[in-house]
Amino acid sequence: MKSRIKLIIAQKVKELRLKSGFSMADLAERLDVTYQFISQIEDETSTKGYNIDHLNEIAKIFKCDLWDLIPQKPI
């Protein structure tokens, strides 16, 4: 099971991905990871999560701040 913080981050990235019209494959290509990796991160039952390097690249892709991807207060 994914930790609560990983789940929140995955949901925020998924929202940005969908809002931008990106498929999982599109995001995977831009992050230089596999489609399966993105699929596992978006799967709530998986333990996989983005690392800080992924989040930095995601912020560049979606032209947002890193702070937009993570909770503002500890959970």
pLDDT digits (tens, 9 = 90+) for 21-68: 999 999 999 999 999 999 999 999 999 999 999 999 999 999 999 999
pLDDT the model gives residue 1: 83
Looking at the structure, give the CATH architecture of the domain made up of residues 4-68: Orthogonal Bundle (1.10)
User: Does the structure show a pLDDT above 90 at 9?
Assistant: yes
* In the chain, where the domains are located: 4-68
| Relative orientation angle of helices 52-61 and 4-19, to the nearest 10 degrees | 20
User: What is the arithmetic mean of pLDDT over 9-18?
Assistant: 98
User: What is the arithmetic mean of pLDDT over 3-10?
Assistant: 97
Stated as kind and residue range, the H or E segment containing 44 is none
pLDDT the model gives residue 39: 98
User: Does the structure show a pLDDT above 90 at 10?
Assistant: yes
The set of residues, in sequence order, having a beta carbon less than 8 Å from that of 10 and lying 6+ positions away, is: 2, 41, 42, 44, 49, 50
